[in-house]
Amino acid sequence: MKVLVCDDEENIRNLMKRFLSMEGIEADTAENGHAAERMLRESPYDAVLMDLRMPDVDGLQVIRWMREQGFRMPVIMISAHGDVTDAVSALKQGAQDYIVKPFDPEEVIIRIKSLVEAAALRSAAESGRVADDEFIGESPEILSIKRVIARIAPSQATVLITGESGTGKEVVAREIHKASKCADGPFVAINIGGVPENLLESELFGYEKGAFTGAQQRKPGLFELASGGTLFLDEIGDMPLALQVKILRVIQDRKITILGGTEPMPINARLIAATNKDLEQMVRNGEFREDLFYRLNVVRIHMPPLRDRRSDIPLLAAHIISKYSREMSPRVVGFTPEALEALKNHSFYGNVRELENILERAIIFSDSDTIGISDLDLRSSGVRHGGKDDGALQHECLSLRDAEKEAIIRALRRWEGNRTRAAAELGISRRTLISKIQEYGIGL
C-alpha cells in the first residue's frame, strides 16, 4: 500500500510518514496542493491524506482536480477546524472521510486501511477478479448460506454467525457487508477475546480528552469508526457480563455515550457478531445475557466444519494455492490425484485455517508446479477436545520461544502483514505483537 500525505505542517507530514512506515505502508509527503498534484501525476497511490486549509491551493481544490482527472483512490480530509460546513463540503467534493486535528495517528491508519480495502473490493467486483477472502464453496451447505446472505444483506438486521474456529465466520461477515447498502462504508472488526477486559470498553466506545489518566486527546471508538459501514464483533462469547449490558443498550437505542462524554451519539453501523461457543448453554449457565442473545440472534448463520463439506475442499485448495503461489517460481498450479484425494479424506479439525496452513507449507517445499502427496504434511492435524486426529501426531519438538515465533510468522503471512488482524488471531494486543516482532527480529 502507498499513501500520499499532503499537509503544510512539516510535523504532521513527518508524524504520519513515521506511523505509516511502522505499519509497513509506504508514504510520500507533499507540503502544498501544487506538489500533491504533481506527485499524483507521477506515481500511483492507494489513498491520500489531505489537509483542508493550505496556502495557494487548498485541499478542496486538490480533490476537485483529482476527480476531474479521474483519480478514484479514497481521500481522507484533515483539518484543525471542526466546522460542519467544511466537513460537508469535503464530502461533497469526493472525500471519503473527515478528521479534525489533533488526531490519533493509529485511528487515521485504521480508517485508511478500511477505505483502501473497500475500494479494492469494489474494483475487484467491477473487473470480475477474485478477492483473497472470497466466500468459496458450492456444497449444499454453502449454497444455502449464500442464499441467506443475499436475502438479509439489504436489511440492517443484526446477524449472529456461529461455527468452529477456522470455518470462515469473518469471511461470511465480509460477504454480508459487500452485498449490503453500506458496502462503500468501512468494515471494522474486533476480536473480543484479543483485547484486555479493562481496555475493551474504551476500544468500542472511545473516550473524551481527560476521561481518565492518560487520555490526552479524544479517541473515537470502533462503533464511531464503523459509522456508515459494518462493525464485526468476533468471539462475542468472550464479552464480559458488565459490558454486555452496554452493548444491549446500543443495539436497542442505536446510540453510544463515549467515556467521559455527556451526550448520547447516534450510530449508523450494522452489527454482526460471531462465536465458536454455545451461547444458549452460556445463557443457561448465567455467563451470557439472555436479552442480548436474542438481540444478536435476529438472523443466525451456522458455518459447517470443513469435514462436513468435503466437496468444497478442491475449490478451496485451488483458491489457496492461487493466492500463495502468485510470486513463487515455479508457480504451483495444481495437485496430483493422490494429493487431492488425501486432502479430501483428511478430517481438518482446524477447518479452512488448517487447510491453508498445510498448503502454504506444501507450496514452499514443492519442487515442481504440482503438489504431490509427499509435499503434504497431514500429521499436523488440529487437536479436537483434547483428542488426536485420525492419524498419529508426530509434532517436531520446538522450544517455547521458537513455537511462539513460528506462530507469529504464520499469522502475519496469513493476514499479509496486517498486524491488527494477526494480533487478533493470536489473541494478543497489537502493541504486544509489535514488541514480539522486534524481539524476534521478524521481517516479512
> Does residue 257 sit in the same domain as residue 218?
yes
Whether 298 and 206 share a structural domain: yes
- In the prediction, which pLDDT does 444 show? 57
Domain stops at, among 70, 104, 138 = 104
Nearest-angstrom CA–CA distance, 149 and 142 = 10
Low-confidence winner among 117-121, 263-267, 366-370 (lowest mean pLDDT): 117-121
pLDDT of residue 394: 36
Residue 177: the pLDDT is 94
The answer on 139 and 281 residing in a single domain is yes
| CATH classification of the domain holding 239 | 3.40.50.300
**Dihedral in degrees, nearest 10, Cα atoms 393, 394, 399, 400:** -10
Question: If you average pLDDT over residues 261-290, what whole number do you get?
Answer: 92
Rounded to whole angstroms, how far apart are CA atoms 432 and 130? 33
User: Alpha helix locations (H) across 254-309?
Assistant: 279-284, 290-296
| pLDDT in the model for residue 406 | 80
Q: C-alpha cell of 183?
A: 458496502
**Which has the closest alpha carbon to 9: 27, 32, 34?**
32
Pairing of strands 187-191, 159-162: unpaired
Distance CA 167, CA 171 (A): 9
- Mean pLDDT, rounded, for 231-237: 95
Same domain, 186 and 236: yes
Cell (9 digits) for 440 = 524476534
Separation between Cα atoms, residue 211 and residue 260, nearest integer Å? 4
Lowest mean pLDDT across 96-100, 259-263, 325-329, 438-442: 325-329
Q: Confidence class of residue 390 from pLDDT cuts 50, 70 and 90?
A: very low
For position 443, what pLDDT does the model report? 65
Sign, Cα dihedral of 34, 9, 81, 209: positive
In a domain, 123, yes or no: no
Find the CATH number of the domain harbouring 412: 1.10.10.60
Q: What is the pLDDT of residues 50-105, one digit of tens each?
A: 888 888 888 888 888 888 888 888 888 888 765 556 666 767 777 777 788 777 88
Round to whole Å and give the CA distance between 146 and 151: 9
We report the CATH number of the domain holding residue 82 as 3.40.50.2300
Residue 114 lies in a domain: no
pLDDT value at position 123? Answer: 54
The pLDDT confidence band at residue 170, using thresholds 50, 70 and 90, is very high
Contacts of 124 (CB under 8 A, 6+ apart): 130, 131
Note whether 363 and 406 are same-domain residues: no
Instruction: Tell me: do 7 and 72 sit in the same domain.
Output: yes
User: In this prediction, what percent of the chain has a pLDDT beyond 90?
Assistant: 29
Average pLDDT over residues 216-226: 86
Q: For helices 33-42 and 59-69, what crossing angle results, to 10°?
A: 20
Alpha-carbon gap, residue 299 to 161, rounded angstroms: 8
C-alpha cell at 128: 470480475
The number of residues making up the chain comes to: 444
Domain extent at residue 176? 130-302
Cα 308 from Cα 265, distance rounded (Å):
44
In 3-state terms the chain splits into helix, strand, coil percentages (rounded to 5) of 50, 15, 35
**Full-model pTM:** 0.60
Residue 69 maps to a domain: yes
> From CA 320, how far away is CA 251, in angstroms rounded?
37
What tens digit of pLDDT does each residue of 12-31 get?
A: 889 889 888 888 889 999 99
Output the pLDDT for position 326.
67
**Range from 55-69, 185-199, 316-330, 387-401 carrying the lowest mean pLDDT:** 387-401
Most confident of 110-124, 227-241, 408-422: 227-241
Q: What is the mean pLDDT of residues 379-389?
A: 46
Band of pLDDT at residue 373, cut at 50, 70 and 90 = confident
- Pairwise CA distance, residues 341 & 354, whole Å: 16
When pLDDT is cut at 50, 70 and 90, the band that residue 393 belongs to is very low
User: Is 190 found in the same domain as 161?
Assistant: yes
**Claim to verify: residue 277 and residue 350 sit in the same structural domain:** no
- Same domain, yes or no, for 61 and 94? yes
279 confidence band (pLDDT: 50, 70, 90): very high
Q: Which of 242, 270, 302 is the last residue of a domain?
A: 302
Assigned domain for 118 exists? no
- Same structural domain, 72 and 152: no
Nearby residues of 302 by Cβ (< 8 Å), 6 or more positions away: 161, 162, 163
What are 407-428's pLDDT values in tens digits? 888 778 777 677 887 777 777 8
- Whether residue 395 lies inside any domain: the answer is no
Residue 341 sits in a domain whose CATH number is 1.10.8.60
Pairing of strands 265-266, 255-256: antiparallel
How confident is the model at residue 396, as a pLDDT?
Answer: 43
What's the total number of domains in the chain? Answer: 4
Same domain, 155 and 281: yes
* pLDDT given for residue 416 in this prediction: 67
Distance from C-alpha of 422 to C-alpha of 407, rounded to nearest angstrom:
10
Euclidean distance between the first and the last CA atom of the chain, given in angstroms as a whole number: 15
**pLDDT value at residue 126:** 43
Q: Which residue has the higher pLDDT, 95 or 155?
A: 155
What DSSP letter does each residue of 349-411 carry, written as one string?
A: TTHHHHHHHHHHHHHHH-SSSEE-GGG--GGGPPPBTTB--SSPP-PPP--HHHHHHHHHHHH
Confidence of residue 383 (pLDDT cuts 50, 70, 90): very low
Query: Which SS3 state, helix, strand or coil, does residue 342 take?
Result: helix
Q: Give the span between the Cα atoms of 155 and 195, in whole angstroms.
A: 30
> Is the torsion defined by CA of 234, 222, 87, 9 positive or negative?
negative
Residue 390 or 105, more confident: 105
Please indicate, yes or no, if residue 376 is contained in any of the structural domains. yes
User: Do residues 372 and 408 both lie within one domain?
Assistant: no
Amino acid 158: pLDDT: 95
pLDDT for 55 equals: 81
Q: Which of 94-98, 105-109, 200-204, 293-297 has the highest mean pLDDT?
A: 293-297
User: Which grid cell is 432?
Assistant: 504486544
Residue 389 lies in a domain: no
Tell me if 248 is assigned to some domain: yes
Q: What pLDDT is recorded for position 372?
A: 86
Are the C-beta atoms of 73 and 95 separated by less than 8 Å? no
- Residue 243: what pLDDT? 93
